[in-house]
Structure formats: C-alpha cells, structure tokens
Structure 1
C-alpha cells in the first residue's frame, strides 16, 4: 500500500435516525487509530473532521422524502473534494465515519482517478435502496445505489459525474438484511454478493479468495467500505442498525489480512461506529484493530 495516508473524519449522523454516530471519528481516534498506523511506519496527514451543517428543525423532512438531503449532499461534496486532492497527491484516503451515507462522497472523490474502480462492501446491508424502494428515507441505506447512478439527482451528481462505479465491479460481503427492492436490484444488475450463508458455508478465507479472484482482473483499484454492523453485535455492539448473526472478530481480521497481502486496496473507510450505543469504546477499538490488519500488522 502507499506509504502516505490521508485521514478524513466525517462526523455525520444525518443519513439515519439514531444520534451518536457523529462521534465515530473521535471514538476511533481515541482508540488509537493514528498511533496504530504510525507504528506501522506510515506517514499520516490528518485532515481533521469535516464541519457538518445541522438542518433547521422546521425544515427536516419538509422539502424532500429523503431525510436531511441537502445537508448530506453538502457534506459529501466537501468529502469528495478533499479525497480528490489526497489522491492527486498520491496518498491513500482513509475515512472515519459517521454513518454510511459518507460513502457517496468517498466514492465520488476516488472513482474519477480510476478507469475501473472496484468496491468491496463489508456490511450486513446492501445499501442499494433508492428514494422509491427505501422503507425509511434514510440515505445511509442508499450509498451503493447512488454510486451506481441510481437515486435522487442531487446525490448521484455529487462531484459532477455519474455513475461512480459499475455493478460488475462490486462485491458485497456479509449481507444478511436486504430489502425487497435491493434484492431485485442485485438480481437485475448481477451484483456479486457473499451473504452470511456463503461465509458460514465456505469460510471467510474462501470468500475473500473468490472476491479477490473476481475483482483482480477487472479493476485498477479497490475501495474497501467497512460498516461495523457487518460484524455480529456481540463483537461490535456500538452500531446503529445491528443485525444478529454477523461476522466474527477473527473472520474480519482474516479478511483484512488477506486483502492487505494482495496490495489491491487503494482507499478505505470505516463507518457506523456509535459510541453512545457502545460498551467502553469496544467497537471503535475493534475498528482500529481491523485497520491495523488492513495496513499490514502481523502477529509475527
């Protein structure tokens, strides 16, 4: 991986309905993310946290079906610009969330630098809803659809182009909670998904090997998006939308270690850490441990 890392915090909780995930970047820094990566020999450029505009309480839900649409768009435009500049400098963008709506800006800033950007979506959810299919109107359930060019124009046009990624360049790992509209879109677009059924039946090592074999010949860079709710709530309790039956701590470290060995990952984000719902910062500490494995930390 590149030796220079640009860290960008996005204290966003407007893409969903539960407060607290805006403290995720601070929780991961408090858990020693910067020190962990510096100890591995990386040079860090910490851009701090993006300033998030809070919606006026009277306008929330008034103008659009999508919750806090204008504020989510504003934050993601800023994130896309910062990431674009980081990639231009040759740095590895590492984003601390924040809810998963921030992936819209991450991919918007990254994808313009690749002809065939791949995406590994490590998540309990598909995040493939649109305004029409979403049961909630929460934008954190839409970033992958938006990046495919599907959804509200204000979201799909962030950074001035669409789509950001192609459906054949996406791999979802750990899915176990998909809405009907997402299942239909996965079938229609032929998106590669390894649900928890495949993880249980095949084992994480084979799932990651197949994901690598699938993406390596068709992509020139891979963005890794890690939603901490991909892990089982017993391992990662501090998330807003926990789904029982998720990936284990050890499976997740193995996944990160195997991805690190390939050198394929060119950008990453860790999202949905909610310290208010956590136990003694357990989930943020876990996220930092996964970062260590992704960036080459070894036991021997």
Structure 2
C-alpha cells in the first residue's frame, strides 16, 4: 500500500492549489496522444491501430514513472513528496467543486445563460436549450460521475499500485475521454482505450458507489444501485450515478440531447414526485456527498495503515 503521507500530500496540494492553471502535464500528454493517433492511423488499420496507439501513449510514461519511483524509494521524504506531487496532478477534487459552484451560483440567481455556459464545460450533452431542471440534472450527474473518475479511481490506483498505478490510470482515462466516442471516427479506433478504461474503473466505481451510499441515504442508494445500474449502458457510470442519486434522494436521469440527437436514458434515484427535483441545491448536495465520501476514504486509509 502506498504511504499515507503521500496520500495526504496529494490531497493537501489539491486543496491548497487547485488545478494547475498553466503547464498541466495532461495538456502536453493530449498533444502527444494526438500525434500518436495520427501516426497509428497512417501505419495501421482497424482495431490494431487503436490498440497500438493506446500502448504507445501509455506504456512508456508508465514505465518511466515506475523507474523514477523505484529510484527515489530509498529517499523517504523525497519519495513521499514526489509521489504526493504525482497524485496531485492526477486528481481533480477542487477543480470539480469549482466547476460545480460556477453552475450552481448563477442557477440559484436565475441566470440560466451563464449556468448553461458553465455546465457545457463539464458535460457532453447539448446544453443550449436546457431549462433550470435540465441544467441542475446535468451538473448533479456530472459531479457524481466525475467524482469517481477524477478522484476516487485515481486514489484507488495510487493506493494499490503507487505512482505507476495512478499514472497508468490517469493517462488511460484521458485517452478514453479523447478516443472513447461511439462515432464514425472513434468507434473502432477508440475501442481499446474505452474498454481498458472500463477495466481500470470496474472496482473503483463500485467502491465509489458504496461510499456514496454510506455517506448519504444508504437504503435508498443501495436499492437504486441494485435496480437501476443494470439499465445503463456504461458498466461503471451506472452504479456510481444510481447510488449517488439515491444517496442524495434526488430524481436524475431521463432523456437528453447529445450532438443533435435525442437519447432516452433510464431514470436515476427515486422516481419524480418521490425524490427531490434537481436544482442548485442538489448540485451543492452532490459536492457535500463527494466530500463526505472522501472523508470515509481518508479514515479507511488511516485504519488500514494502522493495522499494517
């Protein structure tokens, strides 16, 4: 298990500094990934191009992280600072909370145009015609789902596999965000990146769903998880969002517009009229649920470290 000291350094840096405003390594990685995609498509075809692009983008940097991590391991404090710094760059705790606040604040004031613009920064659905409930639904769902991707999955892989684990996860998750679309360009090429990301998120997503349930309305969350998660196409987003919506006792899900096409989506959480309607308050509540869940993980880390 990775040192709790590095765990707290990473979280502390994120709490104090937030997301780096300039020169974030993932921006450079995105540029590199774009170049690798072009080369892979030029030299290979079909699924093979996507597989080789995934390996070529992820493995050299993961191996470099493993080598550097191993080289610093005997220098305790330097290693702890290095590992904590890598974790800081791999998570998006404060960034997610700030994006959520940028939506909830104007929404509460009735400024739908500003809220639509803010929510378009973190969701892939069309936001131009969203009403107040639609904006709140999109934002609340995004906080719940991205809480797993941007925070808890990264923490999981850091704790179980150290610096190489969190680097492997964050790079793979970034490639899924770039290549994992089910459209003509990426349906075949992005298949490997999407499936590998699903594999890496399988256990962390369910731990996140369980933590959401423990941090909120537990019985409702567990019932929603059991009944609604199987109805979602994504094997990992389903448990996370169903349990999260139940934990908040808020009605989410339902149809939404993506890239000009209407998509019917299953419900999440209590049925409308039973649970609360999405609103600026539900966005704030989702952020509180995320923070409570992070406290649970922190306590668990301290307990496991104490036993070890």
Tell me if TM exceeds 0.5: no
Please identify which structure carries the higher strand content.
1
Please identify which structure carries the higher helix content.
2
TM-score range, shorter chain: 0.3 to 0.5
The TM-score with structure 2 as length reference comes to 0.32
Name the larger-Rg structure. 2
The TM-score with structure 1 as length reference comes to 0.33
